[in-house]
Amino acid sequence: MALHGLLTEKRGPLLSHGEQARLSELERIVERGLQTFIEVAAALLEIRDARLYRASHATFEAYARERFQLARTTAYGYCDAARVLGNVSPARHELSLSQLRMLAPLEAGEQRELAGVISPLTVAEARRVIRAWREQRRHLVAVTDPPPLPVGTFRTLVADPPWRYEHDYGDGLAADQYATMPTEEIAAMPVSELAAPDSHLYLCTPASKLPEGLSVLAAWGFEFQTALTWVKPGLGLGTWFRHSTEHVLFGRRGSLRTSPNVRNWFDGPRRRHSAKPEEFYELVEKASPGPYLELFARREREGWTGWGGEMGNGS
C-alpha cells in the first residue's frame, strides 16, 4: 500500500551554525538514551515472559511496581515496545516509546510497514498517519457473500462473530481485518436450525459486547449457563481498563451436560486479530461432544465442520 501523502511535510527556517551544532549534541544524548530504553524494554519483557519475578512476587505488575516504581501501564508499555522492536528489527529506525506502543496492536508486517514512516514524526503526527493508514486499509477488506451454511445438525457449536463496535477503538482494529456485522444481523442468522435438540454453544464475546452476546445467544435458541475466560499474555486495549482477558458465553439447548472437572478458563498466546488459541478448542473438545461446528472459522480443523468467509486465510 502506498503511504505517500498521508502527512504534508512542513519545514521551517534553516538552523544557524550554532543551532545545528547544538542539535547534533542533543541528538547524541537522545541516541544514548534510546539505546538504554531498548535494553530496559527487552529486559522487562524477558522477566515477564519467563516469570523470573515469581520467587518474590505473585504478579509481574507487583514486581515492577515494588522493584522499579513502574506503574502497570508503564511496565506493560515497555513490554509492548520490546515486542514491536523485535518485529521491526533490524531496520527498526529510531522509534520512541510512544510510537512503538501505537504500533503494538497491529500485525508484525503492518508494524514493519509503518515503522519507517512514523519514526521522524511527532507523536501527534504519527497518530494521525496511523489513523489515515487504517482508514485506507478498510477499503481493501473484501466484502463478499458468505458461503451457504452447512447441512445437518451439530451437538457443539463455536461462534466468533465479527462484532461491530461503535465509538470504540476496537472497531477500527476489527474493520482493518475483516467485514464486521451489526448485532441485529448476527442474531438473525438461522443458527438454531444447525443445533441438535441437545447441544452446546460457545459464543466468543469481547467484554464490551457482553450484553449483545447474551441477546444473540438467546436469539439462537440457547439458554445462558456460564462464561469461560481466555487469559491473555500482556496488556491489551480498552477504554476503561486494559483488557488482558476475553470471554466465551456458554449456552445449552436441551439437557446435554458438559464433561466433569473441566475448568472455566484457559490461557494461550495472542495470534492473528481475534483468532482463538488451540487451548480453547482443546477445552471445548474435552467438555462437549461432537459433531462440532465452528461458525466464522478462519481455517479448517480436523474433526470439525467449519463455515466462514475467511476459511483458508490462515490461522
Residue 116: which domain range?
17-138
Res 105: pLDDT: 76
Res 195: pLDDT: 96
Domain count, the chain: 2
* 118 and 243 share one domain: no
Query: In this predicted model, what pLDDT tens digit does every residue of 202-214 receive, in sequence order?
Result: 999 988 899 999 9
Q: Is residue 76 in some structural domain?
A: yes
- Could you tell me if 94 and 31 are in contact, meaning their C-beta atoms sit under 8 angstroms apart? yes
Q: Is residue 149 in some structural domain?
A: no
From 80, 110, 138, the end of a domain falls on: 138
Q: Which residues pair with 248 in a beta bridge?
A: 204, 228
Res 169: pLDDT: 45
Q: Which residues of the chain have pLDDT under 70?
A: 1-12, 30-31, 33-35, 90-93, 137-145, 166-179, 234-239, 270-275, 309-315
Res 21: pLDDT: 85
Q: Is residue 147 in some structural domain?
A: no
* 166 and 299 share one domain: yes
* 214 and 128 share one domain: no
Res 75: pLDDT: 85
Res 34: pLDDT: 61
* 174 and 272 share one domain: yes
d(CA 198, CA 228): 20
Which residues contact residue 77 at a Cβ distance below 8 angstroms, ignoring those fewer than 6 apart? 97, 101, 235
Q: Is residue 5 in some structural domain?
A: no
* 302 and 162 share one domain: yes
Whole-model pTM over 0.85:
no
Q: Is residue 9 in some structural domain?
A: no
* 113 and 210 share one domain: no
* 159 and 284 share one domain: yes
